[in-house]
Amino acid sequence: MKKTIKTATITIAVLLVIATVLTAGFLLLKKSPLLSGTSGTLILSVNPEIRIDYDKSGNVTAVKGNNADGKRLLVGIDDLSGKSYVEAVKLLVKEIYNAGYFTSGVESERRNIVVRIEPGSVIPERNFVATIENEIASTVRGLDVNPDVITIGHDDYDNKYASAIRPSQYISLEKAKEIALAHAGVSESEVVFDDREFDFERGRAVYELEFYANGNEYDYDIDATDGKILDYEWDIRKNTSKKDDTVKNGDKPKENASSSAVVEPLDNATEPTTPTEPTVPTEPTAPTEPTVPTEPTAPTEPTAPTEPTTPAEPPVSVEPPPAPTYITLEKAKEIALKDAGVDATKAIFDDREFDFENGRAIYELEFYVDRVEYEYDIDAVNGSILRKKIDDKKQSANNTPSAPTAPSTPSESKPENYITLEKAKEIALDHAGLKASEVFFDDCEFDVEKGKAVYEIDFESGRYEYEYDIDAVSGEVIKSERDYDD
C-alpha cells in the first residue's frame, strides 16, 4: 500500500513539472508573433518608432506606431498589408523625411535610422538585414540626406544571455558602441574608451559608455534591449585645455563647436585591448611678436618731424598645427616598467586608464610587484613620465610598530605564486553555483588589503549582483555577497 502511495506521489510530481514547463512554453509562444500568423517583426526607429510584422515570405501583415510620433506618422498612410518588407520600409523612410525628421528639429543632424529585428523572428530570406540596410541607404541618398543606418540583427545580440527556450534579449557591447559612435559622428579609429559598463537602472538593462574623441568627452546610456539612446552628454572643447560647450539630450551643438564627435565590462580577458589612438588638436601656434620699428629719420625741418610709420599687424594663424598621435597603452606600460626596473612577467596591473588632466592626454598606470605598489602618469603624446609613486607595503608594515602586518611567507611575497585572475573567477563562480556562460563580469581587480593580496570579482547573473574577494595566494573565499537588483 505504502509503495502504491509513493508511486502515485512521484507520478503526480512528474506531471506537475511537465505541466509547469508546458505552461511556461505556452506563455512564451503566446507573446511570440508566430501564433498570429506573423513570422517576424522589425522595428524602424528614427524618432518615430514603427513596428512592422511580416510573414514567412517577408510580406507585411501589420504596421503599428510604437510611440506618439510613430502613430502620428501612420495617420493617412494607406494600409501596407501585403506589401513586401522592402516596399514598406522604403515608403516609411520617405514619409519620415517628408515629416521633417531629417531636415528640421534641434538635433536633426544627429538622427540616425535604426532597424532592429526582434529576437526570435524568422528571417524570410538570406541577406535579409543587409537588404534592408542597402535599400534604406539608397532611399536616403535620393532624398539628399545622409543619416547613418544601423541594423540590429540576430548576430548583434549577446548570446551569453540566451537560454534553451529563449533567445538573448540584450544587444552586444560592440553594437551599443556602434550606436553611440554613429550618433556622436565619430569613427572608432578616433576614439579612446574610458569606461564601458553593463548595468541595471530602475530595472532597465543599460550600457554606460564614456569615451574621448578629438579632445572632446562623450557620455552615453544605451538601452541594452532595443539600442535606444536613453541619455547622452558631450563636453565639446575648442582646444584640449578648455571646455567650451556642453551638449545634453535635446540640445543643439553650437555652430562654432566641434560636431565631430568609449573600461569595457571585463570579459574573460585580464588585459583590455587598447583602441587605435586618436589624434586631438593641440594649441594653435602663438603668432610671433611684431618687430619693433627703427627710429624714423629726422626730417630736414626740425620744427615738423614726420610721424613714425605704424608697423603692420602680423597675421594670426587660425588653423592649429597637425595634431600629435598617442603612444599605445603597451608602450606606456613598457616605459613605466623600465623606469621601475621590474620584469613585465612579474607585474600585476591593477589599473590602466587613459585620461585628460589640465588639457594633457595621459595614461594612468597602477601595478604591483612583490607587494610593492607603483603608480605612474605617462604623457600619452611623448611618453615622458609626469608623476610616479612607489609604495613598499612590506617596508611600511615593518616600520610601523603600532600596527604591524603579519610577516609574509615566501609564497605570498612572490607574484609568480599568485593564482591567476581566471582561477579566481573560477573559484567565485563555483562558490556561487554558476557557470561562466551564465554571468556578466562587471569588474575584476587585483588589490592589496591590509598586506594581503586579493582579487576583487564583481559579476551579474539575471537580476542578482555578486561580489567576491578571493585570496590571491591560497584561493580562499574571503568575502562573498549576493544582492537582488530591483
Distance CA 291, CA 308 (A): 14
Could you tell me if 173 and 110 lie in one domain?
no
Could you tell me if 121 and 211 lie in one domain?
no
Could you tell me if 53 and 148 lie in one domain?
yes
Q: Cell triple for residue 434?
A: 554558476
DSSP 279: B
Q: Is the per-residue pLDDT at 37 higher than 70?
A: no
| Domain coverage including residue 143 | 37-156
The mean pLDDT of 123-134, rounded to a whole number, is 89
- Max Cα separation, the chain? 142
Residue that wins the pLDDT comparison between 84 and 34: 84
Does residue 97 lie within any of the structural domains? yes
Report pLDDT for 168.
85
Report pLDDT for 25.
53
Does residue 293 lie within any of the structural domains? no
pLDDT tens, residue by residue, 139-182: 888 887 777 888 898 888 988 888 777 888 899 999 999 998 98
Question: What CATH number should be reported for the domain holding residue 477?
Answer: 3.10.450.40
Q: Is the dihedral of CA 130, 135, 138, 140 positive or negative?
A: negative
pLDDT tens, residue by residue, 268-279: 333 334 444 444
Reported as type and span, the H/E element at residue 440 is strand 440-449
Could you tell me if 187 and 108 lie in one domain?
no
DSSP 438: G
Could you tell me if 146 and 50 lie in one domain?
yes
Distance CA 231, CA 248 (A): 8
Could you tell me if 143 and 202 lie in one domain?
no
Q: How many Cβ atoms sit within 10 Å of the Cβ of residue 129?
A: 18
pLDDT tens, residue by residue, 269-318: 333 344 444 444 444 444 444 444 444 444 444 444 455 454 554 444 44
In 3D, which of 79, 31, 29, 38 has the Cα closest to residue 59?
38
Reported as type and span, the H/E element at residue 361 is strand 360-369
Q: Cell triple for residue 305?
A: 618731424
Reported as type and span, the H/E element at residue 115 is strand 113-117
pTM of the full structure: 0.47
Could you tell me if 132 and 187 lie in one domain?
no
Could you tell me if 43 and 150 lie in one domain?
yes
β pairing state of 149-152 and 113-117: parallel
Could you tell me if 179 and 79 lie in one domain?
no
Could you tell me if 135 and 238 lie in one domain?
no
Does residue 173 lie within any of the structural domains? yes
The mean pLDDT of 375-383, rounded to a whole number, is 91
Q: Is the per-residue pLDDT at 466 higher than 90?
A: yes
Q: Which residues of 304-313 are buried (b: 16+ CB within 10 A; e: fewer)?
A: eeeeeeeeee
Could you tell me if 48 and 133 lie in one domain?
yes
Please identify, among 135, 156, 177, the residue that sits at the C-terminal boundary of a domain.
156
Q: Which of the four pLDDT bands, split at 50, 70 and 90, describes residue 407?
A: very low
Distance CA 272, CA 470 (A): 21
Reported as type and span, the H/E element at residue 431 is helix 421-432
Does residue 1 lie within any of the structural domains? no
Q: Give the torsion through C-alpha atoms of 114, 119, 121, 127, to 10 deg.
A: 50
Phi and psi torsions of 314, nearest 5° = -70, 150
Report pLDDT for 89.
92
In 3D, which of 164, 161, 140 has the Cα closest to residue 150?
140
pLDDT tens, residue by residue, 175-210: 999 998 988 888 888 888 877 888 888 778 899 998
Q: Is the per-residue pLDDT at 26 higher than 70?
A: no
